[in-house]
Amino acid sequence: MTFEAEIPADIRAFRERTKAWLREHVHPMEDRIAATGVLDVDEYDELCRRARHELALPAQYSDETGPPVPMPIQVAIEEIAGWATNGLGGVVPSARGRDVFAEIASPAQQERYVVPLRNGEAREAWAITEPASAGSDVNGIQATAKRDGDEWILNGEKWFVTGGDRATFFLVLAWVDGEQALFIVDRGTPGLEILRRPQFMHDPYTSGHVELRLQDCRVPSDHRVPSGEPGTRRWLAIERLMIAARCCGAADRMIEETTTWALQRSAFGRPIIEKQGVQFPLADSATEVLAARLLTFHAAEACDTHPNPSVAHGKISMAKLYASEMANRVADRCVQVFGGRGYMTENVANRYFREVRVDRIWEGTSEIQRVIVASGLIRRGAEEYTAAWPDRG
Ligand SMILES: Cc1cc2nc3c(=O)[nH]c(=O)nc-3n(C[C@H](O)[C@H](O)[C@H](O)COP(=O)(O)OP(=O)(O)OC[C@H]3O[C@@H](n4cnc5c(N)ncnc54)[C@H](O)[C@@H]3O)c2cc1C
């Protein structure tokens, strides 16, 4: 298997440069958030501006033209976002083709919404989940859109909308005549109301996960995105792959920080790293992160090349399932190695312990990933999913 070795030298250099930059600029910010309990959004915005210049991806991956950058390269970049907590990994620049909205937007929507997104002048938030019956079951949404002349009238309630407190526009999934459609709703549109910004397990984060209501909310007819249900499915697939990637990066950092700590900390007159009870969980973690990484790159390659998108999606589900469960196991082991310090909320392993918990839930729970993989196995047989080099005849 060669996909990891095929990550180009300039992307490898970008990864190393970015990791060093995060250590210098972002990890101290994490410590300040831990000490004060406050995330300074102006400081974060300034970091994003600096990162755009100081970490800029080579032009062939970031300029507006050209085909989407291959998924294994997207994964190699997104892994590094996992090297930060509090959502601060969002400073890591993304390559062309990372954002599904850019893929599915109409030409007019590209100009009005996608270009500002790429310039950092706009922010999007995807509003799919609903309180009543649409989380795992996306078909359970109840939001509706009705045509009225040159406008759509939207009604519904959406929960857990990540980035909703700072979004300049929302992508809202709603029913139109028995099919699911996506609509762009600008922040401030009459009838759109942010109801609540609940607190979550993680520390102060770069964005909230808000609850919002649409009540007779009117948007122009050209705010319907051309691809509704397939676009949402594609968004979920790519986000799942990127969660797997970030989990690999997060596990790398946890192992690195915990090993450094175990080398310094002594018990019974010797560094604790000399104890097998400390070595073995680290060895298990290193083994599992490599397994997760290979699976994630494999899924990324399938995403680009597999002739059947359902099989590719199944492999992405396998990667999301394994990598997110792996990151949670790693976090738990690292908390243990830090001892009492690992129970302090300011501790890096503790922060990850609380943060990676959501990776088993959002964009489809671990159970839903298993449902997707199992239904593929039943339909197509195991080999399509378990073979690393499937024979496509
Ligand atoms: C921090 C955070 C951020 C989020 N961001 C967004 C966002 O930006 N946009 C958005 O639209 N949504 C977002 N979500 C929503 C997220 O995708 C859902 O929470 C998730 O898909 C689970 O849906 P649910 O919470 O309704 O759980 P439910 O669907 O009610 O599931 C409850 C439990 O039942 C299990 N279950 C359900 N069906 C099955 C089945 N068929 N087989 C086995 N077990 C099953 C689930 O695995 C789970 O354990 C976010 C959630 C969180 C926590």
User: 392 burial class (0-12, 13-18, 19+ CB within 10 angstroms)?
Assistant: exposed
pLDDT at residue 200, rounded to an integer: 95
**Residue 57, C-beta contacts closer than 8 angstroms, at least 6 positions apart:** 14, 77, 93, 95
The ligand 1 atom at the shortest distance from the C-alpha of residue 363 is 17
Residue with tokens 């002594």: 266
* Phi and psi torsions of 135, nearest 5°: -135, -90
Q: How far does residue 364's CA lie from ligand 1's centre (Å)?
A: 6
User: 6 burial class (0-12, 13-18, 19+ CB within 10 angstroms)?
Assistant: middle
**The two structure tokens encoding residue 87:** 């959502």
pLDDT at residue 1, rounded to an integer: 46
Query: Is residue 110 in some structural domain?
Result: no
Query: Is residue 130 in some structural domain?
Result: yes
CA-nearest residue for atom 12, ligand 1, is 129
Q: How far does residue 30's CA lie from ligand 1's centre (Å)?
A: 28
**SS3 of the chain:** CCCCCCCCHHHHHHHHHHHHHHHHHHHHHHHHHHHHCCCCHHHHHHHHHHHHHHCCCCHHHHCCCCCCCCHHHHHHHHHHHCCCCCCHHHHCCCCCCCCHHHHHCCHHHHHHHHHHHHHCCCCEEEECCECCCECCCHHHCCCEEEEECCEEEEEEEEEEEECCCCCCEEEEEEEECCEEEEEEEECCCCCEEEEECCCCCCCCCCCCEEEEEEEEEEEEHHHECCCCHHHHHHHHHHHHHHHHHHHHHHHHHHHHHHHHHHHHCEECCEEHHHCHHHHHHHHHHHHHHHHHHHHHHHHHHHHHHCCCHHHHHHHHHHHHHHHHHHHHHHHHHHHHHCHHHHHCCCCHHHHHHHHHHHHHCCCCCHHHHHHHHHHHHHHHCCHHHHCCCCCCC
Report the CATH number that the domain containing residue 319 is assigned in CATH. Answer: 1.20.140.10
Answer yes or no: are the C-beta atoms of 228 and 181 closer than 8 Å: yes
Cα atoms in the Cβ-side hemisphere of radius 13 Å centred on 155: 6
Q: How far does residue 2's CA lie from ligand 1's centre (Å)?
A: 35
The ligand 1 atom at the shortest distance from the C-alpha of residue 202 is 1
List beta partners, residue 179: 176
End-to-end CA distance of the chain: 19
Cα atoms in the Cβ-side hemisphere of radius 13 Å centred on 105: 19
Tell whether 156 and 88 lie within a shared domain.
no
Domain boundary pick from 183, 200, 223: 223
Quote the number of domains for the chain: 3
Tell whether 207 and 237 lie within a shared domain.
no
Pocket test for ligand 1, best of 85, 128, 172, 365 (most atoms within 8 A of CB): 365
Ligand 1 neighbours, Cβ below 6 Å, are 126-129, 135-136, 160-162, 200, 209, 358, 361-365, 367-368, 371
Tell whether 212 and 278 lie within a shared domain.
no
Of 125, 123, 201, the C-alpha closest to 160 is 125
Query: Is residue 108 in some structural domain?
Result: no
Domain boundary pick from 223, 257, 287: 223
Query: Is residue 274 in some structural domain?
Result: yes
The ligand 1 atom at the shortest distance from the C-alpha of residue 163 is 8
CA-nearest residue for atom 7, ligand 1, is 161
* Active-site residue list: 363
| Pairwise CA distance, residues 311 & 315, whole Å | 6
pLDDT at residue 120, rounded to an integer: 86
Q: How far does residue 76's CA lie from ligand 1's centre (Å)?
A: 27
pLDDT at residue 63, rounded to an integer: 85
Per-residue model confidence as pLDDT tens for the chain (393 residues): 456 567 999 999 999 999 999 999 999 999 999 999 999 999 999 999 999 999 999 999 988 788 899 999 999 999 999 999 999 999 999 998 889 999 999 999 999 999 999 888 999 999 999 999 899 999 999 999 999 999 999 999 999 999 999 999 999 999 999 999 999 999 999 999 999 999 999 999 999 999 999 999 999 999 999 988 899 999 999 999 999 999 999 999 999 999 999 999 999 999 999 999 999 999 999 999 999 999 999 999 999 999 999 999 999 999 999 999 999 999 999 999 999 999 999 999 999 999 999 999 999 999 999 999 999 999 999 999 998 876 554
CA-nearest residue for atom 24, ligand 1, is 135
Tell whether 185 and 290 lie within a shared domain.
no
| Pairwise CA distance, residues 189 & 214, whole Å | 10
Pocket test for ligand 1, best of 160, 162, 202 (most atoms within 8 A of CB): 160
Q: How far does residue 368's CA lie from ligand 1's centre (Å)?
A: 9
Q: What is the largest CA-CA distance in the chain?
A: 79
| Pairwise CA distance, residues 331 & 343, whole Å | 12
Domain boundary pick from 188, 223, 258: 223
| Pairwise CA distance, residues 243 & 241, whole Å | 5
Query: Is residue 16 in some structural domain?
Result: yes
pLDDT at residue 378, rounded to an integer: 97
The ligand 1 atom at the shortest distance from the C-alpha of residue 366 is 47
| Pairwise CA distance, residues 327 & 85, whole Å | 13
- Domain coverage including residue 139: 124-223
CA-nearest residue for atom 35, ligand 1, is 367
**The two structure tokens encoding residue 146:** 């009705």
Cα atoms in the Cβ-side hemisphere of radius 13 Å centred on 331: 26
Q: How far does residue 129's CA lie from ligand 1's centre (Å)?
A: 8
Query: Is residue 2 in some structural domain?
Result: no
Query: Is residue 115 in some structural domain?
Result: no
CA-nearest residue for atom 13, ligand 1, is 160
Query: Is residue 236 in some structural domain?
Result: yes
pTM: 0.97
